[in-house]
Chain A
Amino acid sequence: MKKEYIAPIGDQGLYILNTGTWRTERPVINQDKCIACGRCYLFCPVNSVRFSEGRYSIDLSFCKGCGICAQECKVKAILMEGEAEADE
């Protein structure tokens, strides 16, 4: 620790509280179905959807698994998979 903290700040990154560990299921984008409309990006409440090289993808580092992206996807390209199954 470089100094005494007197107020809560995250100056060594955002992960004082790692919300990624709160998930019980995770979004998985089927890139064949995805039409790159960007709705998942607009609706994600925690900015876990990334856009790069013309594709949308999920950054799982702090995604809480709320499922809003899957709910809002117009072409049902996003499915929520259980965390337990994903680990297998």
Chain B
Amino acid sequence: MSKRIVASGNKAAALGVQLVAPNVIAAYPITPQTPLVEYLSQFAADGQLDSTIVEVESEHSAMSVLQGAACSGARTFTATSSQGLALMFEPYFRNSTLRLPTVMAIVGREMTSPETIWSSQQDSMSVRDAGWIQLHVEDNQEIIDTIIQAFRIAEDQDVLIPVNVCYDGFLLSHMSEAIVVPDADKVKQFLPPYVQKHLLFDPKEPMCIDPMTPGPLMLEFRKHLLDSMQRALAVIDKADSEFNSLFGRSWGGILEAYRCDDARYLLFTVGSMTGAAREAVDYHRENGVPVGLVKLRTVRPFPRQRIAQLLQGRDGFAVVDRNVSFGWNCGIIYQEIKAAASDCGHMVTVPVIGGLGGADITVQHFIRVIDELLSRDTSENWRTLWLTGIEEVQK
């Protein structure tokens, strides 16, 4: 029986994990992920979670423990944020390169310094090139649904790549809203048991895992992972449509295009900011502005072709980055979309940075962004609009 309840983002994630019941969970608390780990521990203590929970002394240990479990064919889950993710980075690279289909929630938090615990996407963006699939979600319903989909995507034999489910710290993790908790039996239907074939710690058939590997072989292994990343694009769409058939909800697969069909201008968003962006698009549409919204769900693998298709023939786009690219004078997703758009003809493009360290990105900000997109010409394509404050917007 599916049921409708009120839940915070962390609770939604915990309920998703409870439905999947991975074999092994090892996680270390860090704000704003902590309640997720606490819920899982409580579920286990109450006999309501059929998983082995390993208490570890750090995020580095958490991922290392999961690797041992995953090498034995276990389904594994963990979660972290910013500094915890940084501490975890050493083993993190091994899950993807050993093709261990771990699912991990990243509860988006700014990287210090300045000291902060509040939301941004800097943490997940900083690890985008370590070989994991990276999905970003907009609200708490999408959190619970995507956690379940993540296992399906990771464990697909055409993929076998670990998946990050990223949701904004505090803005979603600590915000309560109504969600529908999927029916447990249907989740079992959606997610058959995982059988690992490509490597396994098995006393009956011993093997050594990850011996020293010379250069030419390294190239082959990397190419296989890159090819699988490309296949993952179709699997992400397939998992979404299979989920829709069983549960009646679709999130668009690799991205959602909102009011884009006749749009001359496109606004790109990632994560919870999308909610406010929808309102701003509707507002401008009421005033006759042909603007649409693209919610980028999948940051890795980057859906280059889909974005190029979407941008073909448009007059311009803006990208709102909840992160910075330190060496470029703009955000990270802006660069990636610019690259995807490079064969789409010259158009006006606006890089926007906002919402760092827990700062709000409001409907007013998005209205301003669209105004900016309409008023600029191509000479300013590399001048970043910083969403520094509501007061400035209201001038």
Contacts and interface: CB of A to CB of B under 8 A. Distances in A.
Do most interface residues of chain A lie in helix, strand or loop, or is the interface mixed? loop
A42 B206 CA distance: 24
Contacts of B228: 6
Contacts of A19: 212
A8 B221 contact: yes
List the 5 closest A-B pairs by CB distance, nearest first: A11-B207, A10-B208, A17-B212, A16-B211, A8-B213
A6 B221 CA distance: 6
Nearest to A11: B207
Interface residues of B, number: 20
Contact of B221 (A7, A10, A11, A14): A7
A48 B198 CA distance: 29
A9 interface: yes
A56 to B, nearest CB: 24
B210 interface: yes
A30 B211 CA distance: 33
Nearest to A17: B212
B211 A17 contact: yes
Interface of A: 3, 5-11, 14, 16-17, 19
Given A6-B224, A7-B97, A7-B98, A14 B211 contact: yes
Interface of B: 97-99, 160, 198-199, 205, 207-214, 217, 221, 224-225, 228
B211 A8 contact: yes
Given A6-B198, A6-B221, A14 B208 contact: yes
Given A8-B221, A9-B209, A17 B199 contact: no
A11 B205 contact: yes
A10 B199 contact: no
Contacts of B160: 6
Contacts of B225: 6
B208 to A, nearest CB: 4
Contact of A7 (B199, B205, B212, B214): B199
A10 B98 contact: no
A7 B211 contact: no
A9 B199 contact: yes
Contact of B198 (A7, A10, A14, A17): A7
B97 A16 contact: no
15 contacts: A5-B198, A6-B160, A6-B221, A7-B98, A7-B198, A7-B199, A7-B221, A8-B209, A8-B213, A8-B221, A9-B210, A9-B211, A11-B207, A17-B212, A17-B213
